[in-house]
Amino acid sequence: MDRKAAARAYKELQHPMGVFRVLNTAGGKSFIGTSVNLPAMLNRQRAQLQLGGHPSTELQRDWNALGADAFTFEVLDELASPDDRTYDPAADLRTLEALWLDKLGEAVYRKRG
C-alpha cells in the first residue's frame, strides 16, 4: 500500500470516542476530557505531561512532583458512532463528560490554568 492510500485508510477508520481521565492516584484528583479518538488523546495527554507542556498547569505541577507512577490514564466511557458520516458527536460528548463529572464527584483539575 502506498503512503497516500495508507493515510486515506487511516482517516476512514472509526476510532473509539468518549470520555477519558488522567487520575492522580496519590491525591484522587482527576483530569477529565473527551475525544473523538481516545487512543490518540491518551497518548497526547501522556506526552504533554512527559514534555512538561500540559494545558493544566495544576496537573503538570502534580505530575512533576509525584512522577508518572502516581497517575493512570483511563477510558471512562465510549460513545457509539452511528453509521451516519454526518454525525457530529460534540454535543453528546459534552453531555457524557458532564455526567461523569457529576458521577465522580471528586476533585477535578481545571482544563486551563
Range of the domain at 81: 17-104
The secondary structure of the chain in percent helix, strand, coil, rounded to multiples of 5, reads 45, 20, 35
User: Per the domain annotation, does 92 fall within a domain?
Assistant: yes
Whole-prediction pTM value? 0.83
- CATH classification of the domain holding 31: 3.40.1440.10
User: Per the domain annotation, does 44 fall within a domain?
Assistant: yes
User: Per the domain annotation, does 111 fall within a domain?
Assistant: no
Domain count, the chain: 1
User: Per the domain annotation, does 72 fall within a domain?
Assistant: yes
Give the three cell numbers for residue 24.
Answer: 492522580
**pLDDT tens-digit series, residues 42-83:** 999 999 999 999 999 999 999 999 999 999 999 999 998 777
When comparing pLDDT for 112 and 90, which is higher?
A: 90
User: Per the domain annotation, does 99 fall within a domain?
Assistant: yes
pLDDT of residue 10 exceeding 70, the answer is: no
